[in-house]
Amino acid sequence: MTEQQLRGETPCVVDLSASTLTASSDTELFTTTIESSAPESGFDGFGFSDALLKTLADKGYTDPSPIQKAAFPDLMLGRDLVGQAQTGTGKTAAFALPLLERLQSGQKTPQVLVLAPTRELAMQVADSFKAYAAGHPHLKVLAVYGGSDFRSQISALRRGVDVVVGTPGRVMDHMRQGTLDTSGLRSLVLDEADEMLRMGFIDDVEWILGQLPEERQVVLFSATMPSEIRRLSKRYLKDPAEVTIRTKDQEGRRIRQRSITVPMPHKLEALQRVLDACGGEGVIIFARTKAITLTVAETLEAGGHQVAVLNGDVPQNQRERTVERLRGGSVDILVATDVAARGLDVDRIGLVINYDMPFDSEAYVHRIGRTGRAGRTGEAVLFVTPRERRFINNLERATGQPIEPMEVPGNTAINQGRLDRLHKRLADAAQQPRANADEEALLKELLQRIGTELELSSEQLAYAALSLAIGSEPLLRQQGDDDWIHNTQRRDRDRGERRERRNDRPARPPEDNMQRYRVEVGHRDRVKPGNLVGAIAGETGLQGRLIGRIQIFDNHSLVDLPKGMPEDVFNNLRRLRVMNRELQITQAS
């Protein structure tokens, strides 16, 4: 079998139980005999131990996800690896399972170090390692992060730990104090590297990398690949395998993305309407600031929703209780800031609402990754003001999927949603008897007695019970309280028609001594004519007054420059970055 096949680049499955496997330390040449009857899926073709295979079977894991199929062979060989995949695609198991299998017994110092951007994610990854190591009770996993007792972490490290999962700051603290010995480290994992970049941890990560043994395996996983992360991988990883699972595949299509354009004064009303029409079992609402999370939560609580808040002011122990309440179903809606909700892994989340536009596309990718997990489907709704609509293209490029426009749900949609949920609750209650048989008998006796006393039919009794369950508040919204929606839609249509009329006007041709060029920055990137003039003048040495007409559109711009531009100058302009994007300049047709 070729190394390309071992990396999973061809659809074959290796049955190691029916194969011969030989290796030379000099050539790393592997020869494997493949049985034609080998299974096409499952975890038994990657060389995992019987104990690990039993653990996976006990947990109900039958088929590896695409990122796991692609990553397992290279990581089992000890290669460095760069993996790009969205959250919820099974990437934790993609690195945890091979690294657990490669641990050596009898070593007291840590052999695997995993860096995560937040303590929530660190705890989640540590719990995953512990779950996968159930068949190896001697293996010890420790999570280290700020907000927890430093002394207990030191005691655990002194007793001996195989795997350490931590945030960069706390890991640095232990390394500087000499309580974390990395001399025997075999593997380092950078999980969600783009988020560490966004949160300003890259300098800390590089410091940690600089202290590690020269011979070690480095694994980098990231949902997106900014240039800084690419630079990091080239500097610290040796001939890494590269695995990319794009969102256009089935994994990404599990999340339906939609956007609602709504003026700022109507956002809270629009949010309540979306929850009434689309709200499912579990919902996370992302807000930009702590103050907004409190305002949104108070409004939803007043409307009868079960809500919890997760922001930077919430203590760590309370955060953990809140997540458990969300996971257990005693809380249906979580209102959170980006940092507080990082690393959340709750299967029952069916809807993510971006109440505020995220700061960048990486944050958006991580937000919507809270739903559609473990093979389930999910929905993501983005609230944008009219001024923010031009940034949607950036988010579509980051996810590789369209973000469908959606109208604020009117009364008809809300009433249908409420009736559907009531239908489901009633059907579930009818099919599920009470746990206490004595209580069930008493309730039936009570219904029979009331029916006899008041001479009520079974339909009348059922209606009375249903009305009691609904409560005194009206079930259906009355017509007339959604007029603002129609007014907003009419204004948007008028504005769009005016924009189309402007865009239909033919562009004025360039002057005779000028050539028109197209550059790939526009309104979506918040570029202004001055940004383009300054960047082009600085790169070419042209005086600003010699740069001609500039026309800026949503996703590109047109710039008139003097004819006869030298080839080397043109190539330099192609790589020039404006507003953190390459111009990619081409001659306009």
List, for residues 418-438, the tens digit of each pLDDT value: 788 788 878 877 787 777 888
CB 35 within 8 A of CB 61: no
* DSSP notation for 30-97: ------TT--SSSSTTS---HHHHHHHHHTT--S--HHHHHHHHHHHTT--EEEE--TTSSHHHHHHH
Residue corresponding to tokens 């017994």: 105
pLDDT: which is higher, 248 or 374:
374
CB 167 within 8 A of CB 116: yes
pLDDT score for 487 = 62
For residue 156 the two structure tokens come to 């655990």
Sequence-distant (6+) residues with CB within 8 A of 165 are 113, 114, 116, 122, 125, 126, 129, 141, 142, 143, 144
> Is the per-residue pLDDT at 194 higher than 70?
yes
Decide yes or no: CATH 3.30.70.330 for domain 514-587.
yes
The Cα–Cα gap between 291 and 447 comes to 48
Chain-wide mean pLDDT for the chain? 80
User: Residue 479: pLDDT band by 50, 70, 90 thresholds?
Assistant: low
How does pLDDT run across 144-155, given as a tens digit for each residue? 998 788 899 999
Indicate the length of the chain as a whole number: 589
The stretch 170-181 carries a mean pLDDT of 93
Considering only 16-30, 172-186, 187-201, 361-375, which range has the smallest mean pLDDT? 16-30
Neighbours of 498 (CB within 10 A): 10
Q: How far is CA 238 from CA 146, 226, 463, 477, in A?
A: 31, 19, 70, 62
Q: How far is CA 454 from CA 43, 447, 448, 450, in A?
A: 64, 11, 10, 6
Cross-strand bridge partners of residue 252: none
pLDDT score for 77 = 93
How does pLDDT run across 507-556, given as a tens digit for each residue? 678 888 888 989 888 877 778 888 888 888 877 777 777 888 888 887 78
pLDDT score for 494 = 54
How does pLDDT run across 318-368, given as a tens digit for each residue? 888 888 888 888 899 999 988 666 667 788 888 999 999 887 676 788 788
Sequence-distant (6+) residues with CB within 8 A of 478 are 411
CB 21 within 8 A of CB 88: no
**Hey, what's the torsion of the CAs at 34, 37, 42, 43, to 10 degrees?**
-40
> Is the per-residue pLDDT at 572 higher than 80?
no
The stretch 549-572 carries a mean pLDDT of 84
Tell me, yes or no, if the pTM score tops 0.85.
no
Considering only 9-13, 268-272, 384-388, 512-516, which range has the smallest mean pLDDT? 9-13
Considering only 502-506, 525-529, 577-581, which range has the smallest mean pLDDT? 502-506
CB 396 within 8 A of CB 368: no
Neighbours of 401 (CB within 10 A): 19
Helix axes 361-368, 392-399, angle to 10 degrees: 60
> Is the per-residue pLDDT at 199 higher than 80?
no
Domain ranges for the chain, please list them: 41-244, 255-410, 414-466, 514-587
pLDDT score for 34 = 30
pLDDT score for 196 = 85
Sheet (strand 282-286) strand order: 307-310, 333-336, 282-286, 349-354, 378-384, 255-261, 404-405
What stretches of 162-216 adopt beta strand conformation (E)?
163-166, 187-190
DSSP-derived pairing of the beta strands 581-582 and 577-578: antiparallel
CB 43 within 8 A of CB 64: yes
CB 492 within 8 A of CB 263: no
Share of the chain above pLDDT 70, in %: 84
The Cα–Cα gap between 214 and 84 comes to 25
Cross-strand bridge partners of residue 310: 336
> Is the per-residue pLDDT at 395 higher than 50?
yes
pLDDT score for 432 = 79
The Cα–Cα gap between 309 and 284 comes to 10
Share of the chain above pLDDT 90, in %: 25
- For 570, the enclosing helix (H) or strand (E) is helix 567-575
Q: How far is CA 26 from CA 23, 29, 30, 186, in A?
A: 9, 8, 12, 20
The stretch 91-116 carries a mean pLDDT of 91
pLDDT score for 502 = 55
pLDDT score for 297 = 93
CB 168 within 8 A of CB 205: yes
- Is the CA virtual torsion 251, 254, 260, 265 positive or negative? negative
The stretch 102-108 carries a mean pLDDT of 87
CB 481 within 8 A of CB 272: no
pLDDT score for 402 = 85
Pick the CATH number of 41-244 from 3.40.50.10320, 3.40.930.10, 3.10.20.30, 3.40.50.300: 3.40.50.300
CB 406 within 8 A of CB 259: yes
Alpha helices for 265-388 (secondary structure H): 267-278, 290-302, 316-328, 338-341, 361-368
The Cα–Cα gap between 68 and 376 comes to 17
pLDDT score for 29 = 32
The Cα–Cα gap between 55 and 375 comes to 20
How does pLDDT run across 1-44, given as a tens digit for each residue? 333 433 333 333 333 233 333 333 333 333 333 333 333 338 88
For residue 458 the two structure tokens come to 């079974």
Question: Do 514-587 and 255-410 fall under one CATH topology?
Answer: no
What stretches of 362-521 adopt beta strand conformation (E)?
378-384, 404-405, 514-519
CB 371 within 8 A of CB 350: yes
The Cα–Cα gap between 107 and 186 comes to 11
Q: Which fold has domain 255-410?
A: Rossmann fold (3.40.50)
CB 344 within 8 A of CB 120: yes
